[in-house]
Chain A
Amino acid sequence: MPLRERRGSPWTGLGTVIAKETADHLSGVRMVVIEVLVYLVALVVAWFSTTTIRESIGESPFLFLRLLTTAPDPIPFSFLGMVGLVTPIIAIAFGFDAINGEFNQRTLSRILAQPIYRDALLFGKFLARLLALTIALVSLWLLVLGLGFIRLGLPPGFEELIRMLGFLVATIAYGGVWLALAMLFSVLFRAPATAALAALGMWLLFTLFWSVLVTPLLATLIAGPSEGILGPSVAYAETAQILNRLSPETLYGDTTLALLQPSTRALGLVFVSQLRGALLGAPLPVAQSFLLIWPQLTGLIATTIVLFVIAYILFQRQEIRA
């Protein structure tokens, strides 16, 4: 049969889908509950952080970066740690029933019987969820920034603001990875619970087990033991680094480390010979920090795109009968 090209823009209806899905997420009970919880925890963390920082206000020029990275007593994690923990969970909560939910509600054939391609439906759902996630993260970011401003009595410096914006962009990209993964599973599995569990399982794998179990095991298999006769094995360390960077957790961790700890000069193996002339502990200019994290940030965005493309291909091949 000769190939007949379809006519009409694949993005017809995209705006309608984005508007509807974004409104659903911003007004839905699920979103409100998550946001209230996250905002409360963030406020508590930021409050205690500012209390700690006020006691040592002259020790660092980057007060607002310390606000994000300080784990204050009695709270065992920083604002950065909290965001790194809740962003994947919120993204998974947004994405796990994006497509299978339509199948289960039997709305998919009714919607696709309207003048809209599947492309627009899937992409619209993804963009709407990413937009809702972005709105949540931006409001959280502004909340902490405002609280810091009030409690510390100082505005953030220009470089601090740029670094904090970079952190926000990296967090959105990190959320995008988990959102795309959750949506992929929502295409792959017809039961939303299965999709949610699969996505959470992947998150646990990368968060808890990847760097402590999977990476050492695979690096040993590939490059031999971690310790050689003359000390640590460089081949092992380089292999472990490559494997670690397959994890979005590592990419995000590297990115935030370089952005929020300006003294970070390298994100991989560093030999003593490479440190000749370096002023250890001195902050790197913000442009240099961005150069440092560029591969990691690009990696996060690329992973999001790859996962979305896989979901897209699978969705295009599915039979729509529900």
Chain B
Amino acid sequence: MPGDVVIRAAGLTKRYGEKLAVDHIDLEVRAGEILGILGPNGSGKTTTILMLLGLTEPTEGRAEVAGFDPLRDPLEVKRRVGYLPDQIGFYDGLSARDNLAYTGRLAGLARREIDDRFEAAMVRVGLPEYGRARVGTFSQGMRQRLGLAEVLMKEPSVAILDEPTTALDPHSTQEFLEMIRGLKADGTAVLLSSHHLDQVQSVCDRVALFNRGRIALAGSVTELAGRVLGGGHVIDVEARGGDVAGWLAAVPGVVRVQPLGLGPDLYRVDCRIDLRAEIARHLAGEAELLGIRFAAPSLTEVYNRYFEEARDAA
């Protein structure tokens, strides 16, 4: 169960000259919670992360991370936060151990702690035999794992992971997502920025959708589906014969009908309440109903629908 609030932002704003990069965002993340932050490039995700880390100063507003103000106490914040940047870089000429020992010393760890934690972290990320290997010989996936090992070595209260699975193959991605769940199990609050919506949906407790520097939507995927897809219930219908889409749209309470694209007879129906029985009754005699079932609301659909509507509104 999520615990105390460890990340709190109130009215956090960042301007670069005339450009408003982050516009008065409010945010809360609790210990043991995974918050996914989503949004198109340039929507303010990375700037928000940098402000939370104390790497850039907010123009307005306040933040508190692990009980400290990143602007006033950046060193205390950084002692408690593990950060995995996108496209992580290491000193290629040094071994994995030397790279992590350097950041470990900067983090104030004693030599013994560095040795113990390094071994444990390397086992946890699946690289136990690569401690003495030069990082220059590592694949991008191994670098990502090594970056996560660095986060683990700090035993942080907060982990900020920026596009952590970009360079990973599907199998490694699943392993990586499992490691992120492991952080949650340790009680670490995780801020996960990613464009891979299915991955975000699979590990995150809540998501925050960034658009033009603001958090446009925040909540669980089910809550967002309720707000964006107009219902909260998504029903997949397989039926053939006549104008099935038209008949489905005519059912009272149906918000939206769209072909699923997986076959000619598959439709996805968004509705406010469970309408499976009404749909079955409505189609009886009009079309041949082959199947009807609940579908989990998809974050991808929420995301796409939100930005379609935002584009239409603009």
Q: Which residues of B contact A47 (CB under 8 A)?
A: none
Q: Which residues of A contact B83 (CB under 8 A)?
A: 109-110, 113
> Interface 1/0s, chain B 71-101, versus A by CB < 8 A?
1111110110101010111111100000000
Q: Which residues of A contact B185 (CB under 8 A)?
A: none
Q: Which residues of B contact A5 (CB under 8 A)?
A: 72
Q: Which of A11-42 contact B (CB under 8 A)?
A: 12-13, 16-17, 20, 24, 28
Q: Which residues of A contact B59 (CB under 8 A)?
A: 1
Min C-beta distance of A175 to chain B, whole Å:
24
Contact of B78 among A1, A20, A113, A320 (CB under 8 A): A113
| A8 close to B76 (CB less than 8 A) | yes
Known contacts A8-B74, A105-B92; can you find 5 more A-B pairs with CB under 8 A?
Answer: A24-B93, A110-B103, A114-B106, A116-B106, A321-B46
What 6 A-B pairs are tightest by C-beta distance, nearest first? Answer: A106-B89, A8-B75, A113-B83, A114-B106, A115-B75, A115-B78
| B72 close to A105 (CB less than 8 A) | no
Centre residue among B72, B75, B88 by max chain A CB count within 10 A? B75
Number of interface residues of B (CB under 8 A): 35
B105 at interface, CB cutoff 8 A = yes
**Residues in A lying within 8 Å of B, measured CB to CB:** 1, 4-8, 12-13, 16-17, 20, 24, 28, 105-107, 109-117, 319-322
Min C-beta distance of A187 to chain B, whole Å:
16
| A117 close to B91 (CB less than 8 A) | no
Q: Which residues of A contact B79 (CB under 8 A)?
A: 115
Q: Determine the distance from Cα of A20 to Cα of B93 in the docked complex, in whole angstroms.
A: 13
| A115 close to B72 (CB less than 8 A) | no
| Nearest B-chain residue to A9, judged by Cβ | B75
| A107 close to B91 (CB less than 8 A) | yes
| B46 close to A107 (CB less than 8 A) | no
Q: A1-B60, A6-B72, A8-B73 are in contact. Are A111 and B106 (CB under 8 A)?
A: yes
Q: Which residues of B contact A109 (CB under 8 A)?
A: 55, 83, 85
Q: Which of B115-170 contact A (CB under 8 A)?
A: 147, 150
B203 at interface, CB cutoff 8 A = no
| B55 close to A113 (CB less than 8 A) | yes
Q: Which residues of B contact A4 (CB under 8 A)?
A: 69, 71-72
Q: Determine the distance from Cα of A17 to Cα of B91 in the docked complex, in whole angstroms.
A: 14
Q: Determine the distance from Cα of A12 to Cα of B102 in the docked complex, in whole angstroms.
A: 14
23 A-B pairs with CB atoms under 8 Å apart are A1-B59, A1-B60, A6-B73, A8-B73, A12-B75, A16-B106, A20-B102, A28-B93, A105-B90, A106-B87, A106-B88, A109-B83, A110-B85, A110-B89, A110-B103, A111-B103, A112-B55, A113-B81, A113-B85, A114-B78, A114-B106, A115-B78, A117-B74
| A114 close to B91 (CB less than 8 A) | no
Q: Determine the distance from Cα of A29 to Cα of B236 in the docked complex, in whole angstroms.
A: 64
Q: A109-B85, A320-B50, A321-B50 are in contact. Are A6 and B74 (CB under 8 A)?
A: yes
Q: Which residues of B contact A24 (CB under 8 A)?
A: 93
Q: Which residues of A contact B90 (CB under 8 A)?
A: 105, 107, 110
| Nearest B-chain residue to A108, judged by Cβ | B89
Q: Determine the distance from Cα of A109 to Cα of B58 in the docked complex, in whole angstroms.
A: 17
B42 at interface, CB cutoff 8 A = no
Q: Which residues of A contact B55 (CB under 8 A)?
A: 109, 112-113, 320
**Residues in B lying within 8 Å of A, measured CB to CB:** 46, 50, 53, 55-56, 58-60, 69, 71-76, 78-79, 81, 83, 85, 87-93, 102-103, 105-108, 147, 150
Q: Which residues of B contact A322 (CB under 8 A)?
A: 89
Q: Which residues of A contact B85 (CB under 8 A)?
A: 106, 109-110, 113
Min C-beta distance of B143 to chain A, whole Å:
10
Q: Determine the distance from Cα of A109 to Cα of B76 in the docked complex, in whole angstroms.
A: 17
| Nearest B-chain residue to A27, judged by Cβ | B93
Q: Which residues of B contact A107 (CB under 8 A)?
A: 89-91
Min C-beta distance of A148 to chain B, whole Å:
37
| A105 close to B75 (CB less than 8 A) | no
| Nearest A-chain residue to B77, judged by Cβ | A115
| A113 close to B53 (CB less than 8 A) | yes
Contact of A114 among B60, B72, B76, B103 (CB under 8 A): B103
| Nearest A-chain residue to B61, judged by Cβ | A1
Min C-beta distance of A320 to chain B, whole Å:
5
Min C-beta distance of B215 to chain A, whole Å:
21
Q: Determine the distance from Cα of A132 to Cα of B122 in the docked complex, in whole angstroms.
A: 33
Q: Which residues of A contact B81 (CB under 8 A)?
A: 113
| B75 close to A117 (CB less than 8 A) | yes
Contact of B75 among A1, A7, A111 (CB under 8 A): A7
Min C-beta distance of B64 to chain A, whole Å:
13
Min C-beta distance of B18 to chain A, whole Å:
16
Q: Which residues of A contact B56 (CB under 8 A)?
A: 319-320
Q: Determine the distance from Cα of A50 to Cα of B147 in the docked complex, in whole angstroms.
A: 56
Q: Determine the distance from Cα of A113 to Cα of B65 in the docked complex, in whole angstroms.
A: 13
Q: Determine the distance from Cα of A8 to Cα of B78 in the docked complex, in whole angstroms.
A: 12
Q: Which residues of B contact A28 (CB under 8 A)?
A: 93
| Nearest B-chain residue to A322, judged by Cβ | B89
Min C-beta distance of B62 to chain A, whole Å:
9
Min C-beta distance of B97 to chain A, whole Å:
13
Q: Which residues of B contact A319 (CB under 8 A)?
A: 56
Q: Which residues of B contact A320 (CB under 8 A)?
A: 50, 55-56
Q: Determine the distance from Cα of A140 to Cα of B98 in the docked complex, in whole angstroms.
A: 30
Q: Determine the distance from Cα of A8 to Cα of B53 in the docked complex, in whole angstroms.
A: 15
Q: Determine the distance from Cα of A126 to Cα of B191 in the docked complex, in whole angstroms.
A: 35
Q: Determine the distance from Cα of A319 to Cα of B16 in the docked complex, in whole angstroms.
A: 10
Q: Which residues of A contact B50 (CB under 8 A)?
A: 320-321
Q: Determine the distance from Cα of A5 to Cα of B73 in the docked complex, in whole angstroms.
A: 9
Q: Which residues of A contact B74 (CB under 8 A)?
A: 6, 8, 115, 117
